[in-house]
Structure 1
Amino acid sequence: MKTCLKNLWDTDVEFIERMDLFLKDVEDEPELNERTRTLAICASLVGCQALDVFTCIVEDTLEVSLKAIELKELLYQACAYLGYGKVYPFIQQTNGILKQKQINLPLPSQSTTSKQTRLKKGSQAQVDIFGEHMKDFYKSGSKDSVHINRWLAENCFGDYYTRNGLTLREREMITYCFLAAQGGCEPQLNSHIKANIRIGNDEAQLISILSQCLPYIGYPRSLNALRCIKEAV
């Protein structure tokens, strides 16, 4: 973020002074390690489609507080929640930064599933995150829509949540950030807040993460997310 603010020094000095002061206040508030903080902010920036600020932060933090594989895993998983159309520019931009830093592409594979196992392992990931009521959820639904529940298990969870590079808790945390930053999907946000709490990201942790993302996604979406946390708890 500091790189982005420097770019405005000649034109918007008063804004920079206030934003810099606010960012320092935010950084001092919750107790988060730098890696978790950077992971959450990057996820929220993808969620709210802030490509320019995302680029600045990645250039400043890549291989310092966030590894290349962790960033790529974040972007791959974002496709399930934001759509390929929104995530493609972020993947392209990240590839350019990695090449500038002379990091070889493609990165080592993090996949743990095959075409034959993605459904089974994805369904198990749903159970691990949400509970036993998700067992065989992919079979539920009307005849004309059951395929969507199957895709949810084999694609969203089987293709992404089963990968290495991020833990299951970290994957649920970035999903929470995607949804909070995207806005307009509070039912899903509420469900994933409950899932986060279930697997160890408690209320205090979720509020700390939200606090770090607030300067980037604004007050309305942050207050909506805070309400969802309180409702879920």
Structure 2
Amino acid sequence: MSTVKTDAQFMERFENFAFKEVVEEESVALETNTRYLAILASLVGSQGLDAYKFILNKALDEGMDPIMVKEMVYQSIDYVGMSRMWSFLAATNEIYQERNISLDAGEATTTMFDRLEKGAQAQVEIFGEHMKEAWKTSVVNRWLAANCFGDYYTRTGLDLAQREMITFCFLMAQGGCEPQLIAHSKGNMNMGNDAEFLKKVVHQCLPYIGYPRSLNALNAIDKAQEA
């Protein structure tokens, strides 16, 4: 970061905390790809574009799978909206071009004719049988099944557990989404991302989203676990 020259003391403390202390804390450690996927998703959620570019380059240097990142950015459109994801997609493509990385992402596994059916099935897998016909209750719920889950969750490049994790990160980093954060904490747990794992995700993202939203996320996990 250029601020290393202008804000040396601050950067010394930040880099020690974010890149050493948090990463090396054994009780909250995560596998490298998982940690970077969570951090990058939280930076999209918190709209930290400059930090996203810096961390993406750092992640790619350490072997991050470019397809996983691209799929994460695609999926973010349903949680932050096109107006806030577009610049992250552009930044990702720019960095990939600079590094001669293919701009390819995963692949769609649905068509315009079966996206609703398969999206609803993905919801059932994550949240349970009560979601089978939830799409019939409103226009938004129909779009949620067909668009959010049918268009994106069903793509290759990330599995359902990874997709639920990045959704958790989008919601956590935005703030003000606590009801959805609790619901997706439950969805994560149903996919095998247990409370201990989710708390590790929160701890690894804390330097990038701050303490208030991290504490809210930990509280959401506890509420989901109680339920």
Place the TM-score, normalised by the shorter chain, in its bin: over 0.9
Deviations 1:11-34 (A, max 9, x none): 111101211221211111212110
Matched, 1:131 2:128: yes
SS at match of 1:155: helix
TM-score by length of structure 1 reads 0.92
Q: Determine if contact 1:38/1:65 at 8 Å carries over to the other structure.
A: no
SS at structure 2 position matched to 1:15:
helix
Q: CA deviation at 1:63?
A: 6.7
Alignment partner, residue 231 of structure 1: 223
2:127 is matched by which residue type in structure 1? F
Q: Matches of 1:10 and 1:62 in 2, distance apart?
A: 24
What CA distance in whole angstroms lies between the structure 1 residues aligned with 2:220 and 2:102? 41
2:183 aligned with 1:165: no
Code of the residue aligned with 1:8 in structure 2: it is T
| 1:19 alignment counterpart | 14
Over 3 Å counting, the alpha-carbon distance change for 1:167 and 1:16 in structure 2 is same
Q: 1:192 aligned to 2:188?
A: no
Alpha-carbon shift at residue 100 of structure 1 (Å): 0.7
SS of residue matched to 1:9: helix
Runs of 4+ in 1 over 4 A off after TM superposition: none
Which stretch shifts more, 108-117 or 62-71? 62-71
Aligned residue in 1 for 2:173: 181
State the Cα distance separating 1:108 from its structure 2 match. Answer: 5.5
Aligned to 1:61: 59
Match of 2:144 in 1: 152
- Amino acid across the alignment from 2:80: L
Q: Percent of aligned pairs with the same residue?
A: 51
Q: 2:40 aligns with which of 39, 42, 65?
A: 42
Aligned residues: 222
Contact 2:39 2:204 in 1 (8 A): yes
Q: 1:214 aligns with which of 188, 198, 206?
A: 206
Which amino acid in structure 1 is aligned with residue 96 of structure 2? L
Match of 1:8 among 3, 8, 11: 3
Q: What is the match of residue 143 of structure 1?
A: none
**Contact 2:135 2:141 (C-alpha < 8 Å) held by counterparts:** yes
Deviations 1:164-195 (A, max 9, x none): 00011000000000000010010000000011
The change in CA–CA distance for 1:109 and 1:175 in structure 2 (over 3 A counts) is closer
Structure 1 position 64, deviation (Å)? 3.8
Cα drift, residue 36 of structure 1: 0.4
Q: Distance in 1 between matches of 2:101 and 2:170?
A: 26
Separation of aligned partners in 2, 1:132 and 1:104: 39
**Is the 2:106–2:157 Cα contact (8 Å) retained in structure 1?**
no
> Please, which runs of 5 or more residues in structure 1 have no aligned partner?
141-145
TM-score, reference length from structure 2:
0.95
RMSD value, Cα: 1.1
Answer yes or no: is 1:118 the counterpart of 2:110. Answer: no
Following TM superposition, by how much is the alpha carbon of 1:8 offset from its aligned partner in structure 2, in angstroms?
A: 1.2
Q: CA–CA distance in 1 between the matches of 2:105 and 2:176?
A: 35
Give the corresponding residue for 2:195.
Answer: 203
**Is 10-19 or 83-92 further displaced after alignment?**
10-19
